[in-house]
Amino acid sequence: MKSVSPARPSAAVLYFTIDGVLEPIGQSQVLKPILELAARGVPYVLVSLERSADLSDGDRLTQTQALLSAAGVTWHWGKYRQSPGLIGVMGNLVRLWRIGARAAARHPITLYHARGPVPAALARFLPRRPLLFDFRGYVIDERIDAGRWFHNKLLLRVARRVERWVFDRAVAAVSLTELAASDVRAGRFGPWPDSKPVVVIPTCVDFDLFALPRNSGVIPHDIAQRLEGRLVVGFIGSLNASYRVSEALTLFAHLKRRRADAHLLGLTRQLEPLRVLLREHGVADGDFTLCAADPRSMPAWLSHVDWGLHLLEQTEAKRASMPTKLAEFFASGVRPVHFGCNEEVTEWVERAGSGVVLASTQMAELERAAQIVAEAEREPEDLDRARRVTRSHFDLHSGVDRYEALLRGLYPSFGS
């Protein structure tokens, strides 16, 4: 375990995350908010588990350590072990607890801020402090949907009991969606008094880093040339069970038959699996470009994308989900081709007014959406309007405003 220790704060928030700060999601959803909150006078001590592949990037590690230290944030981290099943989860939980216990002993902690239910469960085994539960989704229900972990009824009963305990112990909660916040208020996880706040803070991005004009500064020259003058459709992120990948690629195949200039840009770490799927859907090699783009260069990449494929599964567990890529699409002027997740996500796409919402993923609906995309003209004023409409909800600075208001409501003395 390593740590970076700037000047000792008089009182601090101890932040727990099992998602590495060096991971793309950790960089955007943990690191940036904490840095800005620290700049506003809210002191943080950060505890995380980091993947070995990320730790091997010495430049990124050094840069992250320097950023946190300069902001006055103490960072304690350990290695995340990639072990399967419940045993792996418990091993990582124990490692995170040991690091957190040492951090709690070294620093004057006022509040625990836990990202997700696994870190939040640690609060039971640490010196008693108030808990802010940043629950980031319905993790148990998502695992059930994916057929993972909870085949055993006893294990599920224990998990539900821990989940209920975490909500009961929390003095406040942060939700990604109003749907999930309303579930909490209605008592889905046990009684929730009106005196305990539930604040909606979605997966936010820094709108100032994204721009509507083309930005080729970090894009390889040959790729920028290949995309120039094309109708670029983006497939962004992982191939996983949350996304309707086959339907999305089928939609692109329909589009390609209507627009000869349509070109798919795949930005993912799973290059070969996506290449195989594209060929299976009849997309020729010359009609797509795949790249494992650095997440820090995403604003430049997305400035070349006209439409973004955003077809998701829609289950009860998804009521608490808000995909990060949706905020990135809005910020960069990418028009979403959307289905699923939950009605709140759909409402935001409709409110933005720049994208297409599918009623289903049946073949006729995929063909209809492909026809709309093929015929639509790029209207800069529509893209700019979508950016303005969504900014107050999805911009990083707006999200940090809500975090700060919540934290100062709990502890007015921060920064005084």
Q: Could you write out the DSSP letters of every residue in 116-165? A: SHHHHHGGGGSS---EEEE--S-HHHHHHHTT-STTSHHHHHHHHHHHHH
**CA 201, 205, 208: angle at the middle one, nearest 5?**
130
**CA 223, 237, 354: angle at the middle one, nearest 5?**
80
CB 158 within 8 A of CB 152: no
- For the domain spanning 2-204+395-410, the CATH number is 3.40.50.2000
- In this structure, the number of other CB atoms found within 10 A of the CB of residue 385 comes to 14
Per-position pLDDT tens, the chain of length 416: 566 655 445 689 999 998 899 988 898 899 999 999 999 999 999 999 999 989 999 998 999 999 999 999 999 999 998 876 667 778 888 999 999 999 999 999 999 999 998 899 988 899 999 999 999 899 888 888 877 777 788 888 998 999 999 999 999 999 999 999 999 999 999 999 999 999 999 999 999 988 766 565 678 889 999 999 999 999 998 898 889 999 999 999 999 999 999 999 999 989 999 999 999 999 999 999 999 988 888 999 999 999 999 999 999 999 999 999 999 999 999 999 999 999 999 999 999 999 999 999 999 999 999 999 999 998 889 999 999 999 999 999 999 999 999 999 998 876 55
CB 77 within 8 A of CB 103: no
85 torsion bin: left (phi>0), alpha (psi -120 to 50), beta (else): left
* Cβ neighbours for 8, distance < 8 A, ≥ 6 positions apart: 107, 108
Three-state DSSP state, 218 = coil
Q: Which two tokens stand for residue 142?
A: 């998502």
The partner residues of 312 in beta bridges, in order of sequence, read: 243
* Cβ neighbours for 195, distance < 8 A, ≥ 6 positions apart: none
What is the full DSSP assignment across 350-402? Answer: HHH-SSEE-S--SHHHHHHHHHHHHH----HHHHHHHHHHHHHHHBHHHHHHH
Residue 8 pLDDT: 47
Q: Which two tokens stand for residue 157?
A: 């009963």
The class (CATH top level) of 207-393 is alpha beta
CB burial class (10 A; 0-12, 13-18, 19+) of residue 321? buried
- The CA distance from 63 to 80, in Å, is 20
CB 202 within 8 A of CB 394: yes
Residue 415 pLDDT: 58
- Burial annotation 213-237 (CB, 10 A radius, 16+ → b, else e): eebbeebeeebbebbeebbbbbbbb
- In this structure, the number of other CB atoms found within 10 A of the CB of residue 72 comes to 17
Which residue ranges make up each domain of the chain?
2-204+395-410, 207-393
Same fold flag, 2-204+395-410 and 207-393: yes
Describe the crossing of helices 245-258 and 271-280 by its angle, rounded to 10 degrees: 60
